[in-house]
């Protein structure tokens, strides 16, 4: 997208790659999910770029940011996002997060209440109970194997898979989806293993206006109606 400029910034001793619009407006950070990267937000960013200065960071181990062997847990993800805001001296940006990025944004807002003005959380990977079910280890391992397999596939095969799985997506969306699978580092798989099932505690501490957007469960959405209702009861300013 020609209206975006690419930069790198050092956060927590690693290079974080990001793109930013050249226009003016309040800062807005779009935080991608696992096995994606900043460019995946292009369709959304294109709609919002005239009203905001938009930042598209690549998370640690994703896209064109550095990867490390460890440090992919919730605390690390929060530290990276907060460090990004501090390093760029952003004044209370709004943050939109998708999937794992939504979990990161929520936890950061709880831990650093003065860093952001508002949140939009799109389909975070949250369950109704803080206690993992007996099926969770098997589900995590299945997800891990599928992701590892896709990492080994040629880009053109991934594009064909994307077209089959997401027939309503544009060519641009399919290409960035497939490229994200090629650019994610295997070490980043730790993000799945280290995901903290207790999302309720940080959500109850959020002190800024927050909108939860859920996906269709029949189309791969992650948030059940029960979790959505629980969020509404817990988030004091949702």
Which residue's structure tokens are 């995590």? 140
CA distance 32 to 41: 7
Beta-strand (E) ranges in the chain?
Answer: 4-11, 14-21, 27-31, 53-57, 94-98, 118-122, 210-213
**Coil, helix or strand for 6?**
strand
Cβ pair 185, 62 in contact under 8 A = yes
Tokens of 217: 């469960």
Query: Which band of pLDDT confidence, cut at 50, 70 and 90, is reported for residue 27?
Result: very high
Backbone angles phi, psi at 50, to 5 degrees: -80, -10
What does the pLDDT look like over 59-74, one tens digit per residue? 999 999 999 999 999 9
Overall size of the chain counted in residues: 238
How confident is the model at residue 137, as a pLDDT? Answer: 59
Overall average pLDDT of the 80-103 stretch:
97
Cβ pair 149, 182 in contact under 8 A = no
Cβ pair 32, 59 in contact under 8 A = yes
How confident is the model at residue 133, as a pLDDT? Answer: 55
Query: Which band of pLDDT confidence, cut at 50, 70 and 90, is reported for residue 135?
Result: low
Tokens of 18: 């990001």
Residue 9 makes CB contacts below 8 A (sequence gap 6+) with 15, 16, 18, 84, 87, 88
Q: Torsion angle, CA of 58/216/155/10, rounded to 10 degrees?
A: 0
Cβ pair 30, 54 in contact under 8 A = yes
Backbone angles phi, psi at 209, to 5 degrees: -55, 130
The stretches of 120-170 forming alpha helices (DSSP H) are 136-152, 155-165
How confident is the model at residue 219, as a pLDDT? Answer: 80
What does the pLDDT look like over 169-219, one tens digit per residue? 999 999 999 999 999 999 999 998 888 999 999 999 999 999 999 988 888
User: Selecting from 3.40.50.720, 3.40.50.150, 1.10.600.10, 3.40.50.1820, what CATH number does the domain 4-132+194-234 have?
Assistant: 3.40.50.1820
Query: Is residue 136 predicted with pLDDT exceeding 60?
Result: no
How confident is the model at residue 134, as a pLDDT? Answer: 55
Tokens of 172: 């641009």
CA distance 223 to 216: 8
Tokens of 228: 């959505």
Query: Is residue 238 predicted with pLDDT exceeding 70?
Result: no
Beta strands 53-57 and 27-31, pairing class: parallel
């Amino acid at each position: 997208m020609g209206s975006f400029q690419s930069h790198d910034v050092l956060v927590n001793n690693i290079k974080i790659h990001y793109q930013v619009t050249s226009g003016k407006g309040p800062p807005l950070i779009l935080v991608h999910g696992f096995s994606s990267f900043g460019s995946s937000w292009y369709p959304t960013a294109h709609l919002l770029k005239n009203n905001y200065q938009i930042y598209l960071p690549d998370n640690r181990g994703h896209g064109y940011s550095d990867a490390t062997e460890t440090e992919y847990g919730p605390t690390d993800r929060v530290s990276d996002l907060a460090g990004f805001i501090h390093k760029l001296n952003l004044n209370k940006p709004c943050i939109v997060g998708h999937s794992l990025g939504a979990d990161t944004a929520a936890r950061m807002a709880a831990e650093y209440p003065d860093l952001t003005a508002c949140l939009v959380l799109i389909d975070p990977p949250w369950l109704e109970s803080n206690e993992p079910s007996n099926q969770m280890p098997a589900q995590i391992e299945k997800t891990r194997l599928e992701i590892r397999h896709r990492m080994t596939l040629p880009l053109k095969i991934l594009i064909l898979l994307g077209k089959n799985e997401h027939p309503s997506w544009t060519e641009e969306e399919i290409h960035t989806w497939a490229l994200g699978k090629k650019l994610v580092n295997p070490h980043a798989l730790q993000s799945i293993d280290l995901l903290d099932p207790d999302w309720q505690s940080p959500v109850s501490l959020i002190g800024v206006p927050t909108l939860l957007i859920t996906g269709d469960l029949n189309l791969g959405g992650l948030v059940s109606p029960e979790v959505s209702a629980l969020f509404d009861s817990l988030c004091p300013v949702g």
